Amino acid sequence: MNTCRSANELGRVGPITIRKAEAWRIAIPMLEPFRISSGEVACKDAIVIRLSDGQHFGWGESSAMPGSFYSVETPDSCERELTQRILPELTSRTFSSMNELEEALAGWTSSRFVRVAVETAAWELLARNAGQSLRAFFGLPDQPVPSGLAVGLYASTDELHAAIERYRARDYRRLKIKIKHGHDVELVRKVREWYGDIPLYVDANADYSMDDIEVFRELDRYGLMMFEQPFARDDMEGSAALQRALHTPVCFDESVETAADAERAAQLDACRIVNIKLQRVGGYLEALRIADCCVRHKIALWIGTMPELGVGTAQALMFAAHPGCLFPTDVEPSARWFQDDILQPEIVLRDGQLSMPAGAGLGFSIDMNKMERYATQHWTF
């Protein structure tokens, strides 16, 4: 039986030697624009990297959203940091442990969206060196992961209904819809009218404050699984007050970027659930520290996505098997978001769940013909 290894134990794993680094700027159109309260994106623009020790390799992805509507980082800023500083610094270097690599990355850049690409690629490199799947390397169970459907904002309830039908909500283990000021209670009421008691929750992307508590009191009547990130990232005290006033659990997303954030949230009793995005927290080690903290404080977890291209999606799916993850992941099938993808084999939904292929590292491979087709630039160091 697998036992999840702690962040402390895994941080000592090494050495990691990097003899070659490559990066590709990839742009793949989305099936339709993805809208949240703060903006929208119509094309997935990411930087995919590959690190090699001369024998084995590992893939990573930097998947910031364009336009700074989710974070201050953008694909352009991440590209500059990776190709002008980070990857040249890495080549022909050996790090004694993952802790040492993490410390070096933190010294070179404050961007977690940059660090995650290198850190996750290094983990797959180590797992391939050991001839193990990344899940086995981390001590995570090799089992299917329940998947949830997430849909963005639409101009009308008819368009929302059409999108939920188009993406076959009943094939998933739960449904998430986005809300924003003026587009909230009516959306939930309609979804309940259409789909009855389907497991349902809302994601506010920090569009509200305590001035809107009556909106959440009304939403509290609809039997939702959670309110995801209702208030601003730094307003943990407000979220704690909201949680005290409601039955529905508050879930933190952007509010928890580090284990210290998770600890503060626990001390304030500001949330009952945390969504971990690998891109947002900077990689597996910090994700494990956050998970360790949440499990200790009996805060439930689940794994979110940006969404990323295939590499980042596979990485999130790998981590979604963590025993602290009690809710379905936002990871969805490959064909859900993009007109195409670079991952082989495709991620496929079966019985509301997603599985990973057998094999070393992530188990997936990259279609290099598609990489060439969708790459706008390529660097080798």
Catalytic residue positions, numbered? 178, 277
193: amino acid identity, one letter: E
Alpha-helical (H) ranges within 12-141 are 75-81, 87-90, 98-108, 112-129, 134-138
Sheet holding 250-252, edge to edge: 149-151, 175-178, 200-203, 227-228, 250-252, 273-276, 300-303
Q: How far apart are CA 329 and CA 25, in angstroms?
A: 27
Q: How far apart are CA 2 and CA 69, in angstroms?
A: 39
Q: In the numeric block, which tokens belong to residue 177? A: 């819809």
Q: In the numeric block, which tokens belong to residue 102? A: 């993490």
Q: How far apart are CA 329 and CA 353, in angstroms?
A: 9
Q: How far apart are CA 342 and CA 270, in angstroms?
A: 39
217: amino acid identity, one letter: R
- Contact between 53 and 43 (Cβ < 8 Å): no
Beta-carbon contacts of 276 under 8 Å, excluding residues fewer than 6 positions away, are 256, 287, 290, 291, 301, 302, 303, 304, 319
Q: How far apart are CA 159 and CA 177, in angstroms?
A: 13
380: which strand partners?
Answer: 22
Q: HSE-up of 359 (CA within 13 Å, CB side)?
A: 11
Using the structure block, give the residue that is written with the tokens 């080690």: 285
Evaluated on CA atoms 33, 59, 284, 130, the torsion sign reads: positive
Q: How far apart are CA 253 and CA 296, in angstroms?
A: 18
